[in-house]
Structure 1
Amino acid sequence: MNTYKLVVAGPRGKMGREAVALCLRESQFELVAVIDTQHDGALLKDLDGYIEGDIPVYTNMERCFSELHVDVLIDLTTPAVAKTHMEIALAHGVRPVVGTTGFTEDDIHSLRAQAEQKGIGAVIAPNFAIGAILMMKFAQMAAQYMTDVEIIEQHHDAKLDAPSGTALKTAQLISEVRAPKTQGHSDEEETLAHCRGGDFEGMRIHSVRLPGRVAHQEVLFGGEGQTLSIRHDSLNRASFMPGVKLAVEQVMTLKTLVYGLEHLLD
């Protein structure tokens, strides 16, 4: 069994803590360092919430990759820094697995070119929950037959982007099998701005941000005399870790950037 040397960026975040726990419990994963904005030179066990781990903390990612042999960077931080982290990782021959959303098409094109130039893999996943990937696939299948569709996504109130990357990815997948279409009444008028949600080729996307939520999405289809609802709920952040594990294992076999976990499922 191959052993992969991993670095986790953002170990004090909620997702970062789950990723660290994943690395520590999986026998084929070896956590060699973490990247944090503070505590340079400390050990993982010195950080709040940790009681084990003689694993070094770096604030400088370039120095980390220069001093250590690293196979994969797991980055579950923020859109503001994830692109820079990916560029640093690729420049050092480290394969990034990133769960942060907010990348533009130009960002993805540029990062894919960098990965291919190095001949190594990279993964960006708007959602690491395998159930959410299945929801998107089922929604794309349904959209071939039911073309009136709206998406409602709900997340915790600390989420920075709206709509979510999962909602946008769902809409993009649906658009591959559905022609743009104006939905609702032709004389429809919003008496309160934006109450009909965002418009993606006629599909409406609605974003909810509330404390107590984690990650939830429902895709609603309407047809003559019938409706169809496809829903996925992540009840805790551990739900994303099987997908992270899959991405780490698969990224070692890739020589390009893959956007979306669905491309790694059989």
Structure 2
Amino acid sequence: MDKIKVAVSGANGKMGQEVLRMVINDPELELVAAIDLKMSAIDIGQVIGHEPIGINFDNDIEQALTQKQPDVLVDFTNPQAVHNNVKTAIKYNVCPVVGTTGLQAEDIAEFNRLLKQQELGGIFAPNFAIGAILMMRFAEQAAKYMPNVEIIELHHDQKIDAPSGTALKTAEMIKEVRSSFKQGLEDEFEKVPGSRGGEYDGFRIHSVRLPGFIAHQEVIFGSSGQVLTIKHDSIHRESFMPGVNLAVKKVKGFVGAIYGLDKLID
């Protein structure tokens, strides 16, 4: 069985480095390119605490994809870079697996169109932690019976977007099963603007950004005489790697864009 050839963009970031380690340690995968705009001519082993790999960082994604010809591009960059990276991958018949957040529904729709034109698959996941996927599914089930809900998501202070992609995906799943209504008092007011969080379909999403956090979320449901809290904590970035691994191995098996890792698990 041929190995799946993998390129990683944003390879010198914290998530990118975890992906490099994961790919290197999986006998079914072959790392062929590590792409990062700020790195070049440096063996990736030097930055991931590994002996020399024989693969240097590339800082030109188009050149890397044409020369190394990967099957899959794993992207953990930023909202400004991801659009070009995905379109470049599709252009060269490389399946994108994207963990970069900040994408909008219209972005996914555009990628879906381009992927279908090229008969490629792509996976766009706001969260790759299996526990986080279960949290979202449990929240979706709970919302059918306890429609009063608020979401609190907590991330490190270097995260650029708010709310998180995971929080938005959770909110979308809840909206699908919950009748729309505005929660709280009709004449409620904020003494400090924004203190009640952002409003989505009548309920609130709160974003916390502090040093020390990785990725955390609570979905709190309230009903007469009871409160239900569904919580997930990623305490290390390696928590995302089983999901990334699953996506890399599944993405060549379909055509078009999949939004959310939940579509890949039973």
Matched with 1:110 is 110
Q: Secondary structure at the match of 1:216?
A: strand
Q: 1:226 to 1:250 in 2, by over 3 A?
A: same
Q: Secondary structure at the match of 2:183?
A: coil
Which string of whole-angstrom CA distances, capped at 9 and with x for unpartnered residues, describes residues 31-78 of structure 1?
Answer: 011101134344323557554211132111111111122100111111
Matched with 1:180 is 180
Residue type at the aligned position of 1:240: F
Return the alpha-carbon distance in structure 2 between the equivalents of residues 51 and 190 of structure 1. Answer: 56
Return the alpha-carbon distance in structure 1 between the equivalents of residues 216 and 48 of structure 2. Answer: 29
1:35 matches 2:35: yes
Q: Secondary structure at the match of 2:177?
A: coil
Matched with 2:92 is 92
Residue type at the aligned position of 1:150: E
Return the alpha-carbon distance in structure 1 between the equivalents of residues 193 and 237 of structure 2. Answer: 33
Matched with 2:231 is 231
When structure 1 is superposed on structure 2, of 60-69 and 87-96 the one drifting more is 60-69
1:134 matches 2:134: yes
User: How many residue pairs align between the two structures?
Assistant: 266
Return the alpha-carbon distance in structure 2 between the equivalents of residues 192 and 38 of structure 1. Answer: 40
When structure 1 is superposed on structure 2, of 191-200 and 46-55 the one drifting more is 46-55
| Structure 2: gaps spanning 5 or more residues | none
Return the alpha-carbon distance in structure 2 between the equivalents of residues 134 and 48 of structure 1. Answer: 30
Return the alpha-carbon distance in structure 1 between the equivalents of residues 57 and 12 of structure 2. Answer: 11
Which string of whole-angstrom CA distances, capped at 9 and with x for unpartnered residues, describes residues 158-202 of structure 1?
Answer: 000000000000000000011211111122111110100000011
Which string of whole-angstrom CA distances, capped at 9 and with x for unpartnered residues, describes residues 60-114 of structure 1?
Answer: 1111111122100111111110111000000000001010111112111111101
Matched with 1:4 is 4
Matched with 1:120 is 120
TM score, norm. by length of structure 2: 0.97
Return the alpha-carbon distance in structure 1 between the equivalents of residues 214 and 109 of structure 2. Answer: 30
Which string of whole-angstrom CA distances, capped at 9 and with x for unpartnered residues, describes residues 125-163 of structure 1?
Answer: 000001000000000000001010000000000000000
Matched with 1:212 is 212
Return the alpha-carbon distance in structure 1 between the equivalents of residues 39 and 226 of structure 2. Answer: 57
Q: 1:48 to 1:176 in 2, by over 3 A?
A: closer
Q: Secondary structure at the match of 1:192?
A: coil
Q: Is the 8 A contact 1:32 1:56 kept in 2?
A: no
When structure 1 is superposed on structure 2, of 48-57 and 67-76 the one drifting more is 48-57
Residue type at the aligned position of 1:232: H
Q: Is the 8 A contact 2:127 2:166 kept in 1?
A: yes
Identity score, percent = 48
RMSD across aligned positions (CA): 1.3
Residue type at the aligned position of 2:20: V
Q: Secondary structure at the match of 1:74?
A: strand
TM score, norm. by length of structure 1: 0.97
Q: Is the 8 A contact 1:75 1:100 kept in 2?
A: yes
Q: 1:253 to 1:48 in 2, by over 3 A?
A: closer
Q: Is the 8 A contact 1:89 1:95 kept in 2?
A: yes
Return the alpha-carbon distance in structure 1 between the equivalents of residues 116 and 48 of structure 2. Answer: 38
Q: Is the 8 A contact 1:121 1:254 kept in 2?
A: yes
Return the alpha-carbon distance in structure 1 between the equivalents of residues 90 and 75 of structure 2. Answer: 13
Q: Secondary structure at the match of 1:176?
A: helix
